[in-house]
Amino acid sequence: MLIIGEKLSIIAKRVREAMFKKDKGPIQEIAKAQWNAGARMIDANIGPAEDGGEELMEWMVRTIQEAVPSPICLDTTNSKAIEAGLKAHDNQWGRALINSTSNDPERFPILELAAKYNCQVIGLTVGKGGLPADAEERCGIAAEIMARAMEYGVPLEDLYLDPLVLQIATSQDHAMHVIKAIKMFQELNDPAMKTVVGLSNISNGCPKHVRPLMNRQYFALLMYHGLSSAIADAVELSEIAKTMDVIMGKTLYAHSYLEM
């Protein structure tokens, strides 16, 4: 299970202020906390970043990689900012991951970047025409993204399919559609396709005290069904991930397994 530490998002006030002030301190502190809790990739979410996105992403990549030996998930809709991030990215700890391409023609050029820079890319299974209705529709979109990836020269091993987790508070049915999609995505190729979710979206809009519980429980279910990675808070999930590894027989039980 690859946890992509999600805490560096422009949506969070503290992070946003640090980004504007180019204050490395809070960014590096959060990145280290995610790394120490087991995140092996760090998400750098700079939002749409229409002004100064290139410079900001470049600064984020360098700032994070100064603090932790980790590849970066470049999370923005600004493709110029992505390219700037890819140029700055140090590949010695693994290749970068772009978040994301989709079935929206505006997002196709992202695949060109992935091919050009030989990096990994997330394929979000949505099109231009709104949200997918169920798991089957997500699979149909996934198949189109996969075909397009091959066309652009991105190997399927470098593509992570994202079924788009929706809020439980507003779209309850989709919680199970997404689990089913995770199962179905894996069958679309041999070796199985890699999968990723933006986990905390499930609890977006829930009361604060419910959110960690909802995130953890959903994560455990997704892990059981073969999810390969999650953009999530590693601090919140580290104990669940270790426990699931033990329950699923991926690591040998010992009384101190949580401390490993």
Partner 1 sequence: MPFTPPKESYNGKIFELGLGNGEKAVAIGGENVLSFHGFEGSTPRKPVIALEVQDIVPDDWPQTVREVYKDVYGDPVAWAVYCQDNLGAEAIALRLAGTHPDRGDISAEQAAETVKKVLAAIKVPLIILGSNHAEKDTAVLVKTAEAAKGSNCAIGKAQEANYKTIAAAAMANDLKLIAMSELDINLSKQLNILITQMGFDREKLITDPMCSALSYGLEYTYSVMERIKLAALAQNDPVLQPPMLADVGMYVWKVKETQAPEADLPEWGALAERGIAWEAVTASSFLISGAELLIMRHPAAVEAVKKFIAEMEV
Indicate the residue among 13 and 255 with the shorter CB distance to partner 1.
255
Smallest separation (angstroms) from partner 1 to the CB of 75: 29
Smallest separation (angstroms) from partner 1 to the CB of 70: 19
Q: Where are the alpha helices (DSSP H) in the chain?
A: 13-21, 24-36, 53-67, 79-88, 109-116, 135-152, 172-186, 211-224, 234-247
Rounded to whole angstroms, the Cα distance separating 25 from 192 reads 39
Indicate the residue among 190 and 259 with the shorter CB distance to partner 1.
259
Smallest separation (angstroms) from partner 1 to the CB of 253: 5
Smallest separation (angstroms) from partner 1 to the CB of 250: 7
Indicate the residue among 21 and 250 with the shorter CB distance to partner 1.
250
Q: Within a 13 Å sphere around the CA of 124, how many CA atoms are in the beta-carbon half?
A: 26
Q: Given the rule CB under 8 A, which residues bind partner 1?
A: 250-256, 259-260
Chain mean position to CA 160: 9
Smallest separation (angstroms) from partner 1 to the CB of 35: 18
Indicate the residue among 131 and 254 with the shorter CB distance to partner 1.
254
One-letter amino acid of 145: I
Indicate the residue among 91 and 251 with the shorter CB distance to partner 1.
251
